[in-house]
Amino acid sequence: MNAAELVRQHLIDPEICIRCNTCEETCPVHAIQHDARNYVVRFDTCENCRACIPPCPTGAIENYRRVARSNPYAIEDQFSWDELPAEAEPSPGETAELPADVVRITEIATAGQGGAALPPWSAAHPYEGLHTIARPAIATVTGNYRLTEDRASSDVHHIVLDFGRTAFPVLEGQSLGVIAPGLDAAGKAHHVRLYSIASPRNGERPGYNNLALTVKRVAADRAGRPVHGVCSNYLCDLKRGDQVKVVGPYGTSFLMPNHPGSSLMMICTGTGSAPMRAMTERRRRRAALGEGGRLMLFFGARAPAELPYFGPLMKLPKDFIDINLAFSRASDRPKRYVQDLIRDRGEDVANMLRDPESYIYVCGLKGMETGVNEAFAAVCGAHGMTWDAVLDGLKREARFHVETY
Ligand code: A2P
């Protein structure tokens, strides 16, 4: 083989990857895809731009193997892996050196990249990946409560995990991973499942080393076909005193600003309310210190009985948080989505978009992204702004954060 035909193939380590989807979302050329088992990189599409490297919370993304350009690992190979293949020894006559063009392309691309999405300038510094799949933290369940009413069609739980004397420092907006016990159909350990943390940084109970998760029991897939969500069912069935393997925390950009006077616009559906609860509660605890700016919430659920934290939410003072609830299947009112309410509140939304101290968070169903963007575009159009230009500015100033699934 001629040395010039050797290239570095970008691969993802299936042993470390927590399947958080960040790389797939980040890749500008859609070279990364996944199945139920692995995330893989298409050799013929990947341009080695490295945009996916900084956002990966585990480092699973940063793996390469030297391969012949004419014979890279196919995505079918990668889908079947439980671990990365060993690096092949160079054959006689081959060189382990990378061809100059491959190195150069990588360096140029890295220099031109903006790197990972930034948090608000006044966000606190997050810890990330303190606990790994090989060395998870062990948390004890101290509470598990159903949040949705008995008559509700969805079963959403508020699960409190206590870390005892194990460090698990979190910030509002971060996630953690749970390793469900047992083995999958292939006899392998279950993949990590990610959940947003629903508590503020100083604990579900202030001063305690605990936090809560908002978990919806998965009993059907998006198309309504029955499926048994391995980790969500495991979590929803936990009893007080049970122990849970936890990895993380994860997330370095979907974080709240801390400077006095900064405002939050929070847009969520279903369990996407978890980080909004964490941020709202942080602001509530800090209100007396004068940290608060304005809080505006758009929250979508099928009906009041299906809305996690409906009761506590309705008790919050109106001058503390401006709550807008969209119900899509309530029998006594027309179907509404969060994007409808953003339009209804156009004047106030436009004012927040113009306010350099406001930060916007979107969390929940993937499908809401398009609708929310269209609603912002309509509001901007009606108030003398252009959404594309506003969005550019928001992103540049780390004031627009989206986490959908
Ligand atoms: P729908 O009644 O159409 O499913 P879920 O209960 O499944 O977690 O969903 C939470 C809320 O999000 C529901 O009211 C659901 O409405 C709504 N929803 C579904 N699709 C979208 C979308 N594309 N944009 C905004 N909200 C949506």
**104, 154: one domain:** no
- Per the CB < 8 A criterion, the answer to whether 271 and 365 are in contact is no
Point out the domain boundary residue: 111, 128, 161. Answer: 111
In a domain? residue 256 = no
CATH number of the domain where residue 56 is located: 3.30.70.20
Find the CATH number of the domain harbouring 400. Answer: 3.40.50.80
Q: Is residue 324 part of a domain?
A: yes
Residue 151 CA, ligand 1 centroid: distance in Å:
18
Q: Are residues 387 and 280 in the same domain?
A: yes
Verify that 274 and 397 share a domain, yes or no: yes
Quick one: 360 and 397 in the same domain? yes
In a domain, 142, yes or no: yes
Q: Are residues 391 and 292 in the same domain?
A: yes
Residue 97 has a pLDDT of 45
- For the stretch 45-97, pLDDT in tens is 999 898 998 888 888 999 999 999 999 999 999 999 989 999 876 565 554 44
The residue whose two tokens read 């969520």 is 268
Flag whether pLDDT at 8 surpasses 60: yes
Q: Are 289 and 257 in contact (CB under 8 A)?
A: no
- The verdict on 10 and 64 lying in the same domain is yes
Residue 210 structural domain: 137-250
Is 281 a domain residue?
A: yes
Return the pLDDT at 88: 73
**Does the pLDDT at position 373 exceed 90?**
yes
- Cα of 300 from ligand 1 centre, angstroms: 7
Boundary-marking domain end, from 190, 220, 250: 250
For ligand 1, say whether the CB of 304 is within 6 Å of any of its atoms: no
Residues 272 and 243 in one domain: no
* pLDDT value at residue 91: 60
Query: Are 245 and 276 within one domain?
Result: no
Q: How far is CA 380 from CA 77, 224, 374, 384, 401, in A?
A: 47, 36, 10, 6, 18
Q: What is the pLDDT of residues 314-334, one digit of tens each?
A: 899 999 999 999 999 999 999
Pocket probe for ligand 1: among 306, 363, 365, 366, the residue whose CB has the most ligand atoms within 8 Å is 365
pLDDT band, very low/low/confident/very high, at 107 (cuts 50, 70, 90): very low
Judge whether 117 lies within some domain: no
State yes or no: pLDDT of 337 exceeds 60: yes
Task: Please tell me the predicted confidence (pLDDT) of residue 100.
Answer: 39
| Average model confidence (pLDDT) across the chain | 90
Is residue 132 in some structural domain?
Answer: no
Residue at 144 is within a domain? yes
Statement to judge: residues 306 and 385 lie in one domain: yes
Residue 33 CB–ligand 1 contact under 6 Å: no
Mutate to test the pocket of ligand 1, among 328, 336, 338, 363 (most ligand atoms within 8 A of CB): 328
Helix (H) or strand (E) holding 235: helix 230-236
Whether residues 270 and 390 share a domain: the answer is yes
Residues 379 and 245 in one domain: no
Residue 104 lies in a domain: yes
Cα separations (Å) of 386 from 32, 346, 375? Answer: 32, 14, 12
Number of folded domains that form the chain:
3
Calpha distance 173→254 (Å, rounded):
5
Residues 232 and 279 both lie in one domain: no
Is any atom of ligand 1 closer than 6 Å to the C-beta of 269? yes
Residue after which a domain boundary falls, among 250, 285, 319: 250
Tell me whether strands 292-301 and 262-269 are parallel, antiparallel or unpaired.
Answer: parallel
Q: Is this structure's pTM higher than 0.95?
A: no
What's the confidence (pLDDT) of residue 269? 97
